[in-house]
Amino acid sequence: MFTGIIQSVGHIQSLQTIGGDVRLAMAVNGLPMHDVELGESIAVSGVCLTVVAFDAGYFAADVSNETLSRTTLGGLVAGDKVNLERALQASSRIGGHWVSGHVDGVASVQSIVEDARSQRWRFGADGNLLRYIAEKGSVAVNGVSLTVNQADFEGFEVNLVPHTVEHTNFSALAKGSPVNIEVDLMARYVERLMQFNEK
C-alpha cells in the first residue's frame, strides 16, 4: 500500500527480456535503500513492483506481460524518468490517499495550461476509467495522489502546484504522453457490490 506522495524520481537503467517478460533496473536517485529487503514492494510510476535485486543506488523488478500490457511500463526505454515510492509503513503519515499500486489503465495528457504559479493538466481516458473518477475525488496519476478538479465524459482535470511538477516525472511529460491511472479503491468495490445486488 502507498500514499501517492513521491519520494524520488529515478530513471530506467535497463530493460532485459527474460523468458518472455521483462526485468527492469531502476536508478533510485536518492530513494532511501538502507533498509530495503528482497521481496518488498516499490511503486514505479504508480505500479507496485517486487524488488528482486538492489544496492544503494538501484533496484530491479520483474514485470509480467499483464503489467506490461496494462500500464506504461511496456513502453519505457533506458533513461526514461519514473516516480518512485516505497511501501507505506504503519507509522507513516498519509499525505495523499490510499494507493494500491494496481493500475486500472492508461490515459494521455490532453493539455497543460499555466494557472498563476500552478498548472492545470487535462487527461483523456476511456469511459471504463472515467466512470470511477469524480470531481473533488482522488486519483493516482503515475503514482501521484491528486485531487480531481473537473471530470466529464472525455477526460478529467487536475491542478499541479510547482512542487509536484518539480519533484515528479510530470516535469518530463508533454501533451500526448501516456500516464498510469489508478482510480479510488472504494469506487471499484462499490461497483462490484452493486453487481451482486442487481442479480
Cell triple for 106: 492508461
**SS3 state of residue 107:** strand
Q: How far is CA 27 from the centre of its chain?
A: 17
> What pTM did the predictor assign?
0.91
In the chain, where does DSSP find H-type helix? 65-70, 127-130, 162-166, 185-197
Per-residue pLDDT tens digits of the chain, which is 199 residues long: 898 999 999 999 999 999 999 999 999 999 999 999 999 999 999 999 999 999 999 999 999 999 999 999 999 999 999 999 999 877 677 777 778 899 999 999 999 999 999 999 999 999 999 999 999 999 999 999 999 999 999 999 999 999 999 999 999 999 999 999 999 888 778 888 888 877 6
Q: How many CB atoms lie within 10 A of CB 63?
A: 20
- CA 42, 45, 48, 52 torsion-angle sign: negative
Q: Checking phi first, is residue 176 left (phi over 0); if not, alpha (psi -120 to 50) or beta?
A: left
